[in-house]
Amino acid sequence: MTALTLSTAGAATLRADAVVVGIAKGTGPKAGPVVAPGAEAVDKAFGGKLAGVLETLGASGAEGEVTKLPSPSGLKAPVVLAVGLGTAPEKDEAFAAEVLRSAAGAAARALTGTKKAAFALPVEAAEDVAAIAEGALLGAYAFTAYQDGGKGAKAPLAEIALIGAKPRDKAHKAAAERAITLAEEINRARDLVNTPPNDLYPESFAAVATAAAKEHGVKVQVLDEKALTKGGYGGILGVGTGSANGPRLVRIAYTHPAAAKSLAFVGKGITYDSGGISLKPAGHNETMKCDMAGAAAVFAAVVSAARLGLKVNVTGWLALAENMPSGTATRPGDVLRMYSGKTVEVLNTDAEGRLVLADALAKASEENPDAIVDVATLTGAMMMALGSRTFGVMANDDAFRTAVHETAEEAGEPSWPMPLPADLRKGMDSPTADIANMGERMGGGLVAGLFLKEFVGEGITWAHLDIAGPAYNEGAPFGYTPKGGTGSAVRTLVRLAERTADGELG
């Protein structure tokens, strides 16, 4: 992964292949771009005319805009990269963390193939160090495991020197170290999401989790088909029964001796979703390797909590299965007896994520955590409602839903609180079983949330994150977000664990 250091050198004197500066939109009808704090030395090398030169080249300071130009004499770096920060903040106000995070990511992406870059973006506090470091490290990501690195291939930016931060300042140093840990685990989650399903299936995913758990002193337990059958996990088994690759339930647990609270994170881990007997049509199954993104996020979050030494107990449940059609696959009309003892009539085998999550939620509830949060690429309906960059938040407690939403926003992940209307529950009534896995078509994302709520233990606070939109970016990269797996929800889960450890929640 890309290396990151805090540098005491100046932007003009540090030896690097490029120096990154920020520019903002000036205020007023005729105002052009303005040089952002941190770039003073670079502006001086341009004779105080850097903003004018950039405007001549067409730069406006818009967020994410990238402009490269050769350095004048007086700078050690041969290239200056100016990245837009959007409208300049009011006097005595700072740039928002997400603005800096996104700008740093855009700059890092634009410097693919570069060995070392100095980032001279605005730094006033440790929060700025964290945002710039996170954005740059996440932007310098590439999934190249299946490419030969032949002629024309470019590696991600190799080294980042963060100028303006103070290496001896405890807060700045801690912010940088946290950013490195977080970026490494988010990128691990991205790698898992991007791995093709012929190589990532329940057993191999469980092996990755086991190896990482041992490396970081985290306890891990893997239930295979035999153990799942003995334990009565009808939901996970029902989804995985059509595949030659058997399902798994992985428990990965981090504990801290001084912890006062415990959290359970539950992740949907469908390593490939064909839809099963209710087969997806062509055009809807090509990216279904990403249907395990919830489990990847949970896995990454638990490992992050362990590496950061958070004073909270965090248990992750990875409900892993491959949903395939075959002579042994679950059929529409079949009834499954779930781990909780409830029976579910399967009306659509492509509504499989809620089945594996139901078993994992019921099992997680037995440990009576202070709160459970599940994460899943669950419904296309949520994408229809919120688009491809925002995930939905549902909960059985309004205050907790608000806390999770606010935590996500603080972490830089767009989210939106969604209701769980009681009237939609009737649509899942079944004449054969306790509940059906489908209900009304309208409000399908909310119906899925209501289904999951049925399997949460009595009196346990619970939230559901439907990350179907932001988990996998099928469009062009933007900011620090690459094409493909994004690592959605990892930052939210980690921040939630931090807030719980600090006594802010529960």
Which contacts qualify for 280-284: CB closer than 8 Å, 24 or more apart?
Answer: 280/350
> How many CA atoms are closer than 13 Å to the CA of 349, on its beta-carbon side?
28
Tell me what percent of the chain is helix, strand and coil, each rounded to the nearest 5: 35, 20, 45
Side-chain-side CA neighbours of 307 within 13 Å: the count stands at: 22
Q: Look at residues 493, 455, 468, 487 and name the one whose alpha carbon lies nearest to residue 236.
A: 455
DSSP notation for 43-54 = HHHTTT-HHHHH
Q: Which amino acid is at 177?
A: E
Q: Catalytic one among 354, 425, 491, 495?
A: 354
Q: On the CB side of 105, how many CA atoms lie within 13 Å of its CA? A: 26
What are the angstrom distances between the C-alpha of 401 and each of 153, 172, 392, 417, 477?
44, 31, 10, 7, 30
Q: What is d(CA 452, CA 427) in angstroms, rounded to the nearest whole number?
A: 14
Choice among 173, 280, 342, 389 that is catalytic? 280
Query: Assign residue 271 a region: left if phi > 0, alpha if psi is -120 to 50, beta otherwise?
Result: alpha
CB 307 within 8 A of CB 322: no
- What gap in Å lies between CA 293 and CA 320, rounded to an integer? 11
Q: What is the 3-state secondary structure (H, E, C) of 463-487?
A: EEEECCCCCEECCCCECCECCEECC
Rounded CA separation 357/417 (Å):
20
Per the CB < 8 A criterion, the answer to whether 497 and 447 are in contact is no
**109 among known catalytic residues:** no
Catalytic residue status for 280? yes
Sheet with 391-395, edge to edge strand ranges: 219-223, 248-254, 313-323, 262-273, 371-376, 461-466, 391-395, 415-417
Q: Report the C-alpha gap between 26 and 87 in whole angstroms.
A: 7
Which residues are catalytically annotated? 280, 354
